[in-house]
Amino acid sequence: MKAAVMTEDREIKVMDMPEPEMAPDKIKVKIAYCGICGSELHVLDPDFAASRPAGPPRPAGPRIMGHEASGTVVEIGSEVKSKLKVGQKVAMNFRGYCGNCYYCQNQMEHYCENSVHNTGSYAEYAVYNDGAVYPLPEGVSLEVGALLEPVSVAVHAVDAANIKPGGTVAIFGAGPIGLLIQEVALIAGAAKLLVSEPVASRREMAKKLGATVVVDPLHEDLEAAAKKLTDGRGFDTVIDASGKIAVAKQALNIIDNCGTILWAAMYPQGAEIGVSPQYMYQKELTIRSIFVSPYCFTRALNLLPVLNLEPLISIKPLDKVNEAFHQLIKGEGIKVLLKP
């Protein structure tokens, strides 16, 4: 089958690969679309490549990439308990959890001690654990279905961000995750919402999707705009979805007393943000972070027909994967789906 892989030299190439092997407890899906995740763009970012944390060695040879996928069920293992059917349109979680370890049994499945990554989905076929495959709601296209996993991340972010009806929210970064968080935050009740984003087309999208104010942080005074929108107080919640350390630190300058700061991005290993304990004491702040999206897929599935997702999507054939990566790095496009 055709697949986009990362080689041992950290190059992305499209090549022929064996179809993934089935097992009695697995589900095989013919991939329709797979979104490019911002975390995968770091493959080409030397700051991230050089600071990758130590961990289990990667399997030798090329590794199929991709995890934000939708498709059609083509084979179901004999031990699968899900009520799926061959031919059913589905979207998938790229991780499988054991349900039995300490973390799974204490509401922290994302730290499962026995988690299994399903096979990569920049490919014609992928194999998933039972429980990681979700039937798409009626009327939801496979294109929109491919956004299930990033929507689940937005749900987890809003859960952690302490957003209350009538509250004020600022979001740094209007990439896919920032815009999805914006949409979910508005549904959760944010009444005034500022988005800071240097790319004009992404600011326009944030405004189209309901942002109260959009700011170009390279040419406008972010702090002045924040004070104006919040009557000088600062925001109840500030969320960084940019992944830039200097940007994430700006949250401290526009947060209100008793506010919540959420770092909702990946940052280079070893990078630090200095926070004054006295400042924390005076303002009684909460600073949180998120990692993947535990227990959020069912609610994200319910949101797929509700959110305005089509404007975020553009599609490229799988063999244009390198072109798509470089366009996204330059800020062109928002959520690019690869079609095998």
pLDDT in tens, 170-201: 999 999 999 999 999 999 999 999 999 999 99
CA distance 338 to 340: 6
CA distances from 321 to 12, 34, 109, 143 (A): 8, 11, 32, 17
Say which amino acid occupies 101. Answer: C
96 and 10 belong to one structural domain: yes
- When mean pLDDT is compared across 58-72, 102-116, 318-332, the lowest value belongs to 58-72
| DSSP class of 318 | G
- Residue 323 domain-assigned? yes
**154 backbone φψ class: left, alpha, beta (φ>0; ψ -120 to 50):** alpha
208 and 322 belong to one structural domain: no
175 and 275 belong to one structural domain: yes
pTM exceeds 0.85: yes
- Residue 62 domain-assigned? yes
Q: What is the mean predicted confidence (pLDDT) over 2-24?
A: 92
279 and 171 belong to one structural domain: yes
Q: What are the tens digits of pLDDT across the range 240-253?
A: 999 999 999 999 99
- Residue 161 domain-assigned? yes
CA distance 335 to 34: 10
In the prediction, which pLDDT does 39 show? 87
314 and 235 belong to one structural domain: no
- Residue 71 domain-assigned? yes
- Residue 186 domain-assigned? yes
In the prediction, which pLDDT does 51 show? 43
| DSSP class of 212 | S
Q: How many CB atoms lie within 10 A of CB 24?
A: 10
Phi, psi of 333 (to 5 degrees): 85, 170
CATH number, domain at 227?
3.40.50.720
265 and 210 belong to one structural domain: yes
- Residue 297 domain-assigned? no
225 and 319 belong to one structural domain: no
In the prediction, which pLDDT does 174 show? 97
CA distance 177 to 85: 31
CB-based contact 118:132 (threshold 8 Å)? yes
**Mean pLDDT taken over the chain:** 93
CATH number, domain at 45?
3.90.180.10
- Residue 325 domain-assigned? yes
- Count structural domains, the chain: 2
CA distance 242 to 196: 9
Query: H-type helices in 29-146, by residue range?
Result: 38-41, 46-50, 142-145
- Residue 123 domain-assigned? yes
CA distance 196 to 170: 8
Q: What is the mean predicted confidence (pLDDT) over 288-312?
A: 97
Phi, psi of 48 (to 5 degrees): -80, -40
Which helix (H) or strand (E) segment holds residue 141: the answer is none
120 and 173 belong to one structural domain: no
CA distance 147 to 160: 20
Say which amino acid occupies 131. Answer: G
98 and 42 belong to one structural domain: yes
Which helix (H) or strand (E) segment holds residue 71: the answer is strand 68-76
Q: What are the tens digits of pLDDT across the range 198-216?
A: 999 999 999 999 999 999 9
The yes-or-no answer on residue 42 being catalytic is yes
137 and 184 belong to one structural domain: no
For residue 271, what are the domain limits? 155-289
CA distance 256 to 122: 43
**Residue 25 confidence class, pLDDT cut points 50, 70, 90:** very high
**Residue owning tokens 């630090």:** 272
In the prediction, which pLDDT does 42 show? 76
Query: Which tokens is 88 given?
Result: 């059913």
Indicate whether 168 pLDDT > 90: yes
The yes-or-no answer on residue 39 being catalytic is yes
81 and 40 belong to one structural domain: yes
**Residue owning tokens 């972070």:** 289
In the prediction, which pLDDT does 132 show? 96
Q: What are the tens digits of pLDDT across the range 40-98?
A: 887 766 555 444 444 444 555 688 999 999 999 999 999 999 999 999 999 999 999 99
56 and 166 belong to one structural domain: no
